[in-house]
Amino acid sequence: MYIADSNRYTQIPYKRCGNSGLKLPLVSLGLWHNFGDVDRYDNSLKIVTRAFDLGITHFDLANNYGPPPGSAERNFGKMLKNELASYRDEIIISTKAGYTMWDGPYGDWGSKKYLVSSLDQSLKRMGLEYVDIFYHHRYDPETPMEETIQALELVVRQGKALYIGLSNYDAEQMEQAVKILSSLGVRCLINQPKYSMFDRKPEKSLFSTLGKHGIGCIPFSPLAQGLLTDKYLKGIPEDSRAGKSHGHLRPNQVTDDKLNRIRLLNDLAVKRGQSLAQMALAWVLRIPEVTTVLIGASSVVQLEDSLGCLKNKSFSSEEISTIESILNS
């Protein structure tokens, strides 16, 4: 029987999410990879319980996480029932809908039919009465945004979700969503964009938009699907995401130019007394609008290494200049 570490709330800082009353740990755990039926359940459980022992209270899921789709939620629900049930009120659970989940016209994108049905399925898989955050996973160009936002507002009114989140919405789309939400008398708690040293689009206008409206931010893929780690210093290892048939990082994305930048960034990380992953996570956390950074983990060792980013979150102007030079070369 799992008993949580009594010192867990002394391990990690917490930050208020935008202008809300909710605080999140500076590092959150995503279950996008390594928690599906293709993975070892005992290893997944060790990662989740160790994360909670280290003060990570926020666990991020989606309806299609696995593989197969739905299995990450189902496995996490098993962990909740068997090990974490007594800690439910100490845990922030988020899930999403927006990508293909089932066949036919109602299992994808952003209709009210899909979003409400998907959340009902997610709640059943996890054995929950509500999730803390429910996201629309991606902007739908064919469904009126009013319908999508009204669906999110509906599940909050129904008590199936406490907060609304939007993922993969850019600055212009966020402005439109905020306007609709305001007319309904509800707020967006948090935005989840893709952001890392290798993908800096949110810097153009998204971060400033979120700051203006008091919306929190939780970047995903801060390590660029594992590229910003020491795994790739000597090429593509077989156990990496680029080496897995079901991974989202393909070998053709690991170019010689990118590998050279990774090595140069690693040299700087070593000088800072950090691993490359730790420096890359600290670099994301330097953004004022970022509430928490979303990490993945394939082992307890990797989880603990990532949390080492909190030991050195500051960058000198010279270090920032060096990083910019490497990234823009």
Mean pLDDT over 108-119 rounds to 98
Contact 272, 284 (CB under 8 A): no
pLDDT digits (tens, 9 = 90+) for 200-240: 999 999 999 999 999 999 999 999 999 999 988 877 766 55
Share of the chain above pLDDT 90, in %: 91
Q: Which residues pair with 173 in a beta bridge?
A: none
> Could you name the CATH architecture of 8-328?
Alpha-Beta Barrel (3.20)
Residue 309's contacts (CB-CB under 8 Å, 6 or more residues apart) are 27, 274, 277, 278, 279, 280, 281, 282, 285, 293
Residue 302 reports pLDDT greater than 70: yes
Rg of the chain taking only CA atoms, in angstroms: 19
pLDDT for res 248: 54
Q: Which residues pair with 295 in a beta bridge?
A: 29
Q: Any idea where the domains of the chain sit in the sequence? A: 8-328
Average pLDDT, whole number, for the chain? 95
Tokens of 149: 């936002």
pLDDT for res 43: 98
pLDDT for res 296: 96
Closest residue by Cα to residue 319 from 275, 272, 278: 272
| Of 56-65, 178-187, 249-258, minimum mean pLDDT range | 249-258
pLDDT digits (tens, 9 = 90+) for 279-297: 999 999 999 999 999 999 9
pLDDT digits (tens, 9 = 90+) for 51-105: 999 999 999 999 999 999 999 999 999 999 999 999 999 999 999 999 999 999 9
pTM: 0.94
pLDDT digits (tens, 9 = 90+) for 28-43: 999 999 999 999 999 9
Residue 251 reports pLDDT greater than 70: no
Residue 14 reports pLDDT greater than 70: yes
